[in-house]
Amino acid sequence: MVAPPDNDVLWARGLTHAHDGSPALHSVSLGVRDGEILAVSGPRGSGKTTLLRCLSGQLLPQEGEVWFNSTPVHTMGPLTRERLRRDRFGWIDPEPALVPELTAWENVALPLMLRGFGRRAAKTAALEWLQRLDVGGCARKRPYALLHSERQRVVVARALVGSPTVLFADEPTAPLHRAERGHVLRTLTAAARSHGITVVLATHDPETAALADRTVSLLDGRRVRTVHLPQPAETEGRAACSLSV
C-alpha cells in the first residue's frame, strides 16, 4: 500500500466493484482535494452512486483502495467505518429520508445528539440551519406535513449541521423544481466553502456540475475525460450523451 498525497482529503486507486455480478465500477482512481467541491458526473447507471458509496466507506470495493486523510478506509472494520461516517462524513440521498416520528428540527439535530451534544445546543444549531435553508417555519412539523421539497431542504440541513469533513451528495436536488434547485445548491456550496467542507457531488445535470470546482466523469463505470450531458430539453429523440475517453 502506498499512502496518498498529503493535500488529498480522499484518495482512491483502482476501485472496481460489481453488484451481484453486474459491473458498476472498473479501475477508477481519483483524488479529492481538501475543501474542494468535486462533481462526479455521468449518465444514469454510470456508477456515480457506487463510487460515492465506496469513497464514504458504505461499500467495500471488491478491488482497490480508499484513503481518508492518510488512513486506509478499505481495511477498516465495519464499526470503525461506521464511526468514521458518523463523525466525519455527511450524506444526502436523492430521496429525502427523514425519521417520521421526529419533527424537522429533531431530525436535523440527530447527528449532533449522536455525537454527544446536549439537546439545547443541538436544537440551536438545527434551527440555524433550517433558517439558512428557508425552512425555519417548518421546524416543529413532522415529515408527513412537509412538501417534498421542504423535506429535501431539511435533509440538506441535517447533512451540514455537524460540519462534516466531507459531504457526499448524491443527486441532492433531484426532487426539487428547477427554480428551487439553484437556491438549495448555492446554499449548500456557500455553506461548504465557508465551513471548509469538502463536497463530492454526484449529478447527471450539467447546471449542477457547473457549480463545482472540478468534474470527474464516469461512463459505464469507467473514468473518462469528458461526458457531454444533454440539457433536459435536448434529450428527446437524441442520443443520451456523447463522450471523449
Ligand X SMILES: Nc1ncnc2c1ncn2[C@@H]1O[C@H](COP(=O)(O)OP(=O)(O)OP(=O)(O)O)[C@@H](O)[C@H]1O
Residues that bind ligand X (CB under 6 A): 19-20, 22, 24, 42, 44-50, 202, 204
CA distance 40 to 229: 12
Give the bridge partners for 67, in sequence order.
11, 72
Q: Name the residue nearer to ligand X (CB basis): 117 or 168.
A: 168
Whether residue 207 contacts residue 41, with contact meaning beta carbons closer than 8 Å, is answered with no
Cell reading at 113: 445528539
Q: Name the residue nearer to ligand X (CB basis): 193 or 222.
A: 222
Q: Name the residue nearer to ligand X (CB basis): 22 or 194.
A: 22
E strand or H helix that includes residue 16: strand 8-19
Cell 437524441, located at residue: 238
Q: How far is the CB of 219 from ligand X (least distance, A)?
A: 9
Residue 234: DSSP 8-state:
G
Q: How far is the CB of 1 from ligand X (least distance, A)?
A: 25
CA triplet 139, 196, 148: central angle to 5 degrees?
30
Q: How far is the CB of 7 from ligand X (least distance, A)?
A: 27
Q: Name the residue nearer to ligand X (CB basis): 40 or 126.
A: 40
Q: Name the residue nearer to ligand X (CB basis): 150 or 171.
A: 171
Q: Number of C-alpha atoms within 13 angstroms, CB side, residue 78?
A: 1
Q: How far is the CB of 64 from ligand X (least distance, A)?
A: 15
Q: How far is the CB of 214 from ligand X (least distance, A)?
A: 18
Strand order of the sheet with strand 22-33?
22-33, 8-19, 63-68, 71-72
